Amino acid sequence: MVCRMTPIDPTVVIERMAGRLRAAGAPHPVSGAAAVAARGHARMGQGEFAEQAELPVSVVERAERGDTAFGELPRRIGSGVAATGADILALADLEQTWRNQPPLV
């Protein structure tokens, strides 16, 4: 039996996670979801990811909660986001759009 992997668009996955963070009231849901995706892509827990990125765990936690704006993400988290293969410009555009629109309830 041949097992085939389904191609998964990381941008779509991040957008879906961002929607959940937005619904939960995160101020920066797209950057939060992107931070989670960066850690997930690295296949690390928060502590391990923070240590590898030479960041305090609290910085990673804040980023993943969506408390850190896209442009303020630490460079090491941003590099991890880029490594996911997600469309960074599309994600930044989504964050900008959501910043100007109230969430649907």
Q: Which of 43, 32, 5, 48 is nearest to 94 (CA)?
A: 32
Q: Classify residue 31: in a domain, yes or no.
A: no
Say if 65 falls within a structural domain: yes
Counting the structural domains of the chain, the total is 1
Residue 30: count of CB within 10 angstroms of its CB: 28
In a domain, 72, yes or no: yes
Handedness of CA 50, 56, 61, 66 (dihedral sign): negative
Residue 2 placed within a domain: no
Which residue range forms the structural domain that includes residue 92?
39-96
pLDDT truncated to tens, each residue of the chain (105 aa)? Answer: 555 555 789 999 999 999 999 999 999 999 999 999 999 999 999 999 999 999 999 999 999 999 999 889 999 999 999 999 999 999 989 998 998 876 665
Per-residue model confidence (pLDDT) at position 1: 53
Quick one: pLDDT at residue 104?
A: 61
